A and B are shown apart, each in its own frame.
Chain A
Amino acid sequence: MRRSLIVGASAGLGRALAEQMAEVGHTLFLVASDGQDLAPLAADLSIRFNAKVTWMATDLARVDAAALRDRVMAALGGLDDLMLVAGFSDLARDRGPVPPEMVERLVAVNMTSALLIANAFLGDLATNPRANLVGMGSVAAVRGRRSNMVYGAAKRGLEGYFESCRHWLAGEGGAKVQFYRLGFLSTSLTFGQRLPFPALSAEKAAHTVIANLGRDLGACYLPWWWRGIMTLLAHMPWAIFRRLDI
């Protein structure tokens, strides 16, 4: 029975992962900011799938990763899948100068918390070749633009750390690393927005992520066809790129 920790489990992709992992028999430890949301989810998963579910509510901007690891190890007795899914963006305001608290929060939730948690479990992941370290980046991080400035920077930092983790874990013979540059998903992050490309449902994205567990994937796009779009964008001459209002 696989033991999986999902950070950012109460909504969107994290919740879809929780449901599908519970369905295929994983034992789960769920982390999110809102306990009022996690308690019903845990009840639902245990009633529908007979899953063993533990949860903890915490603000990721102030996460105590060592304490989290203690709780997870006490509840699960080990860890096979570390799923770092939490993230948030503020598309309307994250453009040009923003209040310093906002910079801190965007970096803390999207990057620092994931680094702290991954770092706390790195020793466990190094000794378990069946384990997976899974992170969620963004297409917003591929080439810096005038929107999602801080968010994009945080996700690019996260991607850099995952690259290092993959290299280090390969040397240790430990966990496999999968890092997803997510395109648009139909979650509360994109609710009500007009999108230039179709959004993938969280359920379909979760299905792909679970199917890829165990693979030494490194960084890839989800959905896959964003690779073409982002390759074009990344190689676009500056003279054109600077004029795009994206």
Chain B
Amino acid sequence: MLRPEEATIARGSGLSYVGASFAQGGTSIGMGRFDRILGFDSAQGWIEVEVGCTVGKLYSFLAPRGLRLPVQPGYPTITIGGCIAGNVHGKNHMREGVFGRHVLSLRLRHPDHGILECSETDNAEAFDLTIGGLGLTGIILSARLALMPLEGTEVSEEHLPIASLEEAFAEIARLKDQADMLYAWLDLSRPSHDTRGNGFITLARTAPGVPLSSMPTLPGRLDPSGSEIKRLPLFRAQTLPWVNRVYRAQALRHRGPRRIPLADFLFPAMGKESYFHFFGNAGFFEQQVLLPADAVASYLPDFRRILARHGAPVALTTLKAFDGGRNHLLHYDGEGFSFSIDLPDTPESRALAAELDELNCSVGGKTCVIKDGRLSAATARRQFPDYDQFRARLAAFDPRRLFASELSRRLDL
């Protein structure tokens, strides 16, 4: 099946922002139809699935049985393979860390190694490289995942108004021990006038909800494949402040606490797919960076200064707390604050992001490689102490380097 003469890469739902599932001239292997549940033990708390299985399908299966995945990314059609290869995080990093922490074992196919059963004890090197390995070690066939009890099928959600970027960091730090899930939404859409960054914090605690006997599979409408529709670029410097003002006002109308279904909270992008279309055909990019807590005080004034000078409108700004993670390979894991901005893909936005790259390097920040579609190899090398080690270990595991994507080529892995 695999053609060794060209790059091969697995593809889940194709939802990463960074070209992780395809390469120019290469072959993408679609895993979407390999989405079956192979084994399940509710007493011991594990499930074994083929990697095309989506987090939405698993949620629909697990919730009525009183169980959940410990870490959930925010869209239901994201596949388990993508979660493992990207070692993703959810809105509760400060509690449960990254996805890879909960992978008990996996089956990996590589043309030169055959099918490997990998865990911390068997084929440990392949296991370690495959989690957060961006699909570069082969095709992940299936995985056994640890589960946690689901405390409730509803969450009690509160929206707390925030007046500035500085306040958002301080409040996220203060609240992180009180919340099960926590993130801030901030408005930086008028950089040249007002960089205060007002917004709101969403704080959620799981609440015992109505027990569910069954659930429909969650809908997901994002389809990145081959649609040629013309998208109107509605997110512009002139329009974004109004969009954000309405969004913020809307959220703060319901300060709560109020009960909402857990699925609505876990998958906030569900039903808001048009967000991505509003950037127009040029699209957008996201810069998501993990900042050490002690760097924030010096980071924010510089961030504001750079933002004001470039005047590029930020469409979306979010902030989450990270705790208890470790620095390992190219993983987006560690401690501090996860700070992300979405910008329309314009030359102005790219110039802004390039200058922020420098700032991030200088304060010890590291960029999320599965979110930022323009991060360069040089910047990645400066931000990740394990960059050279990851490259060398990949080459040792697979001297022919059969697996590659646009992402791995850009990062020169």
Interface residues of A (CB under 8 A from B): 11, 40-41, 43-44, 47-48, 188
Contact = CB atoms under 8 A, between A and B. Distances in A.
B37 A47 contact: yes
Given A40-B38, A43-B36, A48-B37, 17 more contacts: A11-B33, A40-B34, A40-B36, A40-B50, A41-B36, A43-B37, A43-B38, A43-B39, A44-B36, A44-B37, A44-B38, A47-B37, A47-B38, A47-B39, A47-B40, A48-B61, A188-B33
A48 B38 CA distance: 10
Q: By CB atoms of chain A within 10 A, which of B33, B39, B40, B50 has the most?
A: B33
16 contacts: A11-B33, A40-B34, A40-B36, A40-B38, A41-B36, A43-B37, A43-B38, A43-B39, A44-B36, A44-B37, A44-B38, A47-B38, A47-B39, A47-B40, A48-B37, A48-B61
Contacts of B36: 40-41, 43-44
Nearest to A194: B226
Contacts of B40: 47
A41 B36 CA distance: 6
A85 to B, nearest CB: 16
Contacts of A43: 36-39
A11 B32 CA distance: 12
Contact count band on B: under 10
Interface in B150-181: none
Contacts of B37: 43-44, 47-48
Contacts of B38: 40, 43-44, 47
A40 B61 CA distance: 16
A8 to B, nearest CB: 15
B265 to A, nearest CB: 24
Contacts of B61: 48
Chain B contact residues: helix, strand, loop or mixed = strand
B157 to A, nearest CB: 30
Interface in B8-56: 33-34, 36-40, 50
A44 B52 CA distance: 13
A47 B61 CA distance: 9
Contacts of B50: 40
A11 B61 CA distance: 21
A114 to B, nearest CB: 24
B79 to A, nearest CB: 15
Interface in B262-298: none
Contacts of B33: 11, 188
A224 B51 CA distance: 35
A40 B33 CA distance: 11
A48 B33 CA distance: 16
A162 B192 CA distance: 73
A41 B40 CA distance: 14
A76 B61 CA distance: 27
| Closest 9 pairs between A and B when the two form their complex, measured CB to CB | A44-B36, A40-B36, A44-B37, A47-B37, A47-B40, A43-B38, A40-B38, A48-B61, A41-B36
A143 to B, nearest CB: 30
B59 to A, nearest CB: 13
Contacts of A41: 36
Contacts of A47: 37-40
Contacts of A48: 37, 61
Nearest to B30: A191
A48 B61 CA distance: 7
Nearest to A40: B36
Contacts of B34: 40
Interface in B39-92: 39-40, 50, 61
Contacts of A40: 34, 36, 38, 50
A91 B36 CA distance: 29
Nearest to A10: B33
Nearest to B53: A44
A11 B37 CA distance: 16
Contacts of A188: 33
A47 B53 CA distance: 14
A149 B39 CA distance: 44
A43 B34 CA distance: 13
Nearest to B60: A48
Q: By CB atoms of chain B within 10 A, which of A43, A44, A48, A188 has the most?
A: A44
Nearest to B226: A192
A28 to B, nearest CB: 14
A41 B37 CA distance: 8
A220 B38 CA distance: 37
Nearest to A15: B33
A188 B38 CA distance: 22
A73 to B, nearest CB: 27
A11 B36 CA distance: 12
A155 to B, nearest CB: 24
A47 B48 CA distance: 11
B172 to A, nearest CB: 38
A38 to B, nearest CB: 11
A94 B33 CA distance: 27
Contacts of A44: 36-38
